[in-house]
């Protein structure tokens, strides 16, 4: 049995789950999320808990069992608490600002980079003197916020020699020594 799949999901107060055919919809104070479920996997809601089960131990069903349990759990946590990611821009002259859901990055290129964010994501930028600029993203959808963070990182990946680039707050970057270290 899948260690992740067999764990029940606790449904907090204020969160409702609707199941129609193979579509599960979770509503809560932070929003509403839906997920299509494979017909082989059964989802039961009873006594404030969600139980995910599979018909047999076939390889594909074992994989789906843990996957859909994790996806449903992420939806429940997202609509009740939400997800928050903080990213910092490390580098001389790196700046970020936002106008509603449009981010504007100045990352040392000849042009500024503009990024339109979906309405499900709220964004806040902080620029304080003698501190790295911050981008704070909040959303109920864990998958969407992770995808946006990956896209933002791709504008300037962290390089290992000087440590410049876009990274998560608190992320450790392995630094390399330059040419002079070999002598």
Q: What is the mean pLDDT of residues 124-128?
A: 92
How would you classify the pairing of strands 95-99 and 23-28? unpaired
Give the whole-number percent of the chain exceeding pLDDT 70: 97
pLDDT score of 141 more than 90: yes
Decide: 165 and 158 in contact? Cβ < 8 Å: yes
Q: What is the mean pLDDT of residues 140-167?
A: 94
pTM higher than the cut 0.75: yes
Could you tell me how many residues make up the chain? 183
Q: What is the mean pLDDT of residues 106-121?
A: 94
What domains can be seen in the chain, in order of their start residue? 9-80 (3.90.930.12), 83-168 (3.90.930.12)
Nearest Cα residue to 83 out of 166, 141, 161: 141
pLDDT band at 182 (very low <50, low <70, confident <90, very high): low
Burial per residue of 98-111, b for 16 or more beta-carbon CB atoms within 10 angstroms, e otherwise: eeeeebebebeeee
How would you classify the pairing of strands 113-116 and 102-106? antiparallel
pLDDT band at 47 (very low <50, low <70, confident <90, very high): confident
Q: Write down the residue that tokens 């390399």 correspond to.
A: 176
């Amino acid at each position: 049995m899948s260690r992740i799949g067999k764990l029940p999901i606790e449904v907090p107060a204020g969160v409702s789950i609707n199941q129609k055919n193979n579509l599960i919809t979770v509503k809560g104070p932070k929003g509403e999320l839906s997920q299509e479920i494979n017909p082989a996997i059964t989802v039961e809601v009873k006594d404030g808990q969600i139980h995910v089960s599979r018909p047999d131990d076939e390889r594909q069903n074992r994989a789906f069992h843990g996957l859909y349990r994790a996806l449903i759990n992420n939806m429940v946590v997202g609509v009740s608490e939400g997800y928050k990611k903080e990213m910092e821009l490390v580098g001389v002259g790196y700046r970020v600002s936002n106008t509603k859901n449009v981010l504007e990055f100045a990352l040392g290129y000849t042009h500024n980079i503009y990024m339109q964010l979906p309405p499900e994501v709220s964004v806040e930028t902080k620029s304080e003197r003698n501190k790295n600029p911050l981008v704070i993203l909040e959303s109920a959808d864990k998958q969407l916020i992770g995808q946006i963070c990956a896209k933002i990182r791709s504008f300037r990946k962290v390089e290992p020699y000087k440590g410049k680039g876009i990274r998560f707050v608190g992320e450790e970057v392995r630094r390399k020594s330059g040419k002079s270290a070999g002598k």
